[in-house]
Amino acid sequence: MSILPESIDRYRKFFVFIIKYANSDLVKNSSEFSNEITGASDQEEKAFGDKPQDLVEDLKNMGPVFIKLGQLLSTRPDLLPNEYLEALTSLQDDVEEVPYEEIEQIIEEEIGSRISKAFESFDKGPLANASLGQVHRATLRSGKDVAVKIQRPGIRLRVVKDLEVLQEMTDFATKHVNLVRKYDLSSLVEELRHTILQELDYVREARNLEILGENLKQFKEIIIPQAIKDYSTSRVLTMEYISGKKITSISPLAKVENDFSPLVEQLVHAYLHQIVVDGFAHADPHPGNVHLTDSYKVALMDLGMVAKFSPVMQENLLKLLVALSKKNGDTIANILLDISEYSADIDTSEFKKNVNRLVMDSQADLAQDLETGRTIIEMNRISAEAGLKIPVQLNLLGKILLNMDQIVATLAPNFNLSKSIDRYTDDILSEKTRQDLRPENFLNTLIESKRLAEHLPERLNKITENLANNKLKIHVEAIDEKRFTDGFQKVANRITLGLIIASMIIGAAMLMRIPTKFTLFGYPGLAITFFLLAAIAGLILAYAIVIKDEDFKKKI
């Protein structure tokens, strides 16, 4: 553990924070946490009356790493009660602006030119500021309006130090506190590290802007500002300036004078497209990052945080969204079981019952009443309580849709979100089918088929060789011995009957060549008799295989 003087204050703040909230109702089952960490009694716990908003303020005071941690915790219903989730959802940066002199120095160091030479004009006051960076409006020498995001001075070093403290404390707690292991808090810290270090790389963000812009080019009402690469580095990101305002800042008069339903429909479709078609989504669409332009289009800002979904996860999430729009609780429960890890002793019946209850309770159609994101986050809570370890992508989906619920309800309160999802489901399924039939995907199938064809003869040879040498072993677990032996007896009887039928047919064919006075239908009578007996026996065997086996399966 690092004990350098500059780290002491970080550890002190962290310990004060832990001690304060270890005895509060911050974490679900917090009494269990409290007793294990501090040994506090129930009476002592009641002395802590911290409100969720207190946690928000404390996280802000702890710095950018803990602000991001709070934002991640807002998607973990298995850890926090609903009132804390609600408070953390609105957690945004509230920091002092960086003096212009420091901003000027960083820009000139990064782009290798004085601001007065690189820009026609550069506003000294920021458009926006956050814990990691600050945005200024400027004009290039070409006359193009741009927004310049500059990383706060010293922020990378501070983030690395804070992550180091958090990681050390988490490692210590993982070794000594059972519940930290149970809720896998180490993976949460690892996710935080991955997320925040990516946000500090503005070259990556510029690439994210380019990828999302290309993916959404078919959506004419959705705008993604593109980076100006010649004026961008890992600490400075220069983008197209888009004039507009936050979605939540739209005046009531504008809502009355304009029907935003078509725009909302395209926005919903665009996000579904990102999640289940491209597998690359704007992961932080809170109202501050989604603007309504002066021409009433939607601009998506801040691509520092993106969510990525594998093809298998895309397919499962598509099924989940369709099932949610159709209020099909059983299908939702089965999908959650398919994509999660869990032990064999969980009560799946109770889990399905709880999921169905949640779906029935959340039946609403209009955007102002429907909370799709909250429903998914609540599903995550039910899953965690049942003992399922859900994939992080489902938490991200809940966070994305939670923000989308607010945006859609703000722009078009009477918008029917369920019907919108239904309308676009067929289009998305068709698009995914076209993607699956792309030449590169077909080529992968051919390669796999070629590999199978190459190895199949060798594997068949091994199987037949082991069979001939009595070395073939079949590993069977949890068998019913009587049913197992009865099954083998049935197979043996059918093989024997099959051999008898084959012998009768061969014998009848040979008898056809022998002249005889006894005939049937103009053919040797004995041969025809064998043929008829073989046919009858064959029909009986077929009946036993097709009908009797089917009845047997139904009884199992």
* 115 three-state secondary structure: helix
For residue range 209-233, list pLDDT tens digits in order: 999 999 999 999 999 999 999 999 9
For position 334, what pLDDT does the model report?
94
In this structure, the answer to whether residues 310 and 217 fall within a common structural domain is: no
Question: Which percentage of the chain shows pLDDT scores above 70?
Answer: 79
For position 118, what pLDDT does the model report?
93
Least confident of 54-63, 212-221, 492-501: 492-501
Phi, psi of 9 (to 5 degrees): -65, -35
Nearest to 246 by CA among 238, 237, 254, 236: 254
In this structure, the answer to whether residues 234 and 253 fall within a common structural domain is: no
Alpha-carbon distance of 446 to 65, in angstroms, equals 47
In a domain, 248, yes or no: yes
Q: What total of structural domains would you count in the chain?
A: 5
Contacts 24+ apart (CB under 8 A), 50-58: 50/20, 50/21, 50/24, 50/26, 52/83, 52/84, 52/86, 52/87, 52/88, 53/87, 55/21, 55/26, 55/84, 55/87, 55/88, 56/87, 56/88, 56/90, 56/91, 58/17, 58/20
In this structure, the answer to whether residues 317 and 431 fall within a common structural domain is: yes
Least confident of 29-43, 323-337, 520-534: 29-43
Residue 208 has pLDDT above 90, yes or no: yes
Least confident of 60-64, 153-157, 489-493: 489-493
For residue range 235-282, list pLDDT tens digits in order: 999 999 999 988 878 888 888 888 899 999 999 899 989 998 899 999
Query: Which stretches within 412-522 are classed as H helix?
Result: 417-436, 439-468, 481-511
In a domain, 361, yes or no: yes
- Tell me which of 241, 256, 284 is where a domain ends: 241
In this structure, the answer to whether residues 427 and 279 fall within a common structural domain is: yes
Per-residue pLDDT band at 477 (split at 50, 70, 90)? low
Residue 343 has pLDDT above 50, yes or no: yes
Alpha-carbon distance of 229 to 206, in angstroms, equals 8
Least confident of 94-98, 157-161, 173-177, 454-458: 454-458
At CA 401, angle to CA 210 and CA 336, rounded to 5?
Answer: 110
Query: Which stretches within 49-128 are classed as H helix?
Result: 52-62, 64-73, 82-89, 100-111, 115-118
For residue range 16-38, list pLDDT tens digits in order: 777 676 655 554 444 444 445 44
In this structure, the answer to whether residues 393 and 416 fall within a common structural domain is: yes
In this structure, the answer to whether residues 506 and 407 fall within a common structural domain is: no
In this structure, the answer to whether residues 254 and 107 fall within a common structural domain is: no
Residues 51/52/56/61 CA torsion (nearest 10 deg): 30
Alpha-carbon distance of 269 to 89, in angstroms, equals 23
In a domain, 125, yes or no: yes
- Tell me which of 93, 110, 143 is where a domain ends: 93
For position 113, what pLDDT does the model report?
92
In this structure, the answer to whether residues 109 and 89 fall within a common structural domain is: no
Per-residue pLDDT band at 44 (split at 50, 70, 90)? very low
In this structure, the answer to whether residues 487 and 419 fall within a common structural domain is: no
In this structure, the answer to whether residues 63 and 87 fall within a common structural domain is: yes
CB 343 within 8 A of CB 372: no
In a domain, 528, yes or no: yes
In this structure, the answer to whether residues 165 and 309 fall within a common structural domain is: no
In a domain, 67, yes or no: yes
Highest mean pLDDT among 102-111, 187-196, 320-329: 102-111
For residue range 129-171, list pLDDT tens digits in order: 888 999 999 999 999 999 999 999 999 999 998 898 888 888 8
b or e along 255-271 (b: 16 or more beta carbons within 10 Å of the residue's beta carbon)? eeeeebbebbbbbbbbb
In a domain, 185, yes or no: no
Least confident of 70-74, 311-315, 423-427, 551-555: 551-555
453: containing domain: 443-469
At CA 522, angle to CA 516 and CA 526, rounded to 5?
Answer: 45
Residue 284 has pLDDT above 80, yes or no: yes
In a domain, 152, yes or no: yes
In this structure, the answer to whether residues 169 and 195 fall within a common structural domain is: yes
In a domain, 476, yes or no: no
Q: What is the average pLDDT score of the chain?
A: 80
Q: Averaged over 454-482, what is the pLDDT?
A: 66
Least confident of 28-32, 94-98, 348-352, 411-415: 28-32
Residue 45 has pLDDT above 80, yes or no: no
Q: Give the helix/strand (H/E) hosting 188.
A: helix 185-199
